[in-house]
Amino acid sequence: MKPWKIIGLALLGYSIVAGLLTEVPRLPVLNETIRNLYYHVPMWFTMIALLGGSLVHSIKYLRHGDLSHDHRASQHATVAMLFAVLGLLTGMVWAKFTWGAFWTNDPKLNGTAVSMLIYAAYFVLRSSVDDAKKRATLAAVYNIFSFVLMIVFIGVLPRLTDSLHPGNGGNPAFSNYDLDSNMRRVFYPAVFGWILIGFWITELRRRIAGLTNQPS
Q: Please tell me whether residue 168 adopts helix, strand or coil conformation.
A: coil
Average pLDDT, rounded, for the chain: 88
Confidence of residue 163 (pLDDT cuts 50, 70, 90): low
**CA 171 – CA 168 distance, rounded (Å):** 5
143 in Cβ contact with 73 (< 8 Å): yes
Q: Amino acid letter at 169?
A: G
Confidence of residue 215 (pLDDT cuts 50, 70, 90): low
pLDDT at residue 171 tops 80: no
Compute CA 167 distance to the chain's CA centroid, rounded to the nearest angstrom: 18
Domains of the chain: 3-212 (1.20.120)
196 in Cβ contact with 7 (< 8 Å): yes
Q: What residues have CB less than 8 Å from 140, skipping those under 6 apart? A: 58, 59, 61, 62, 70, 73
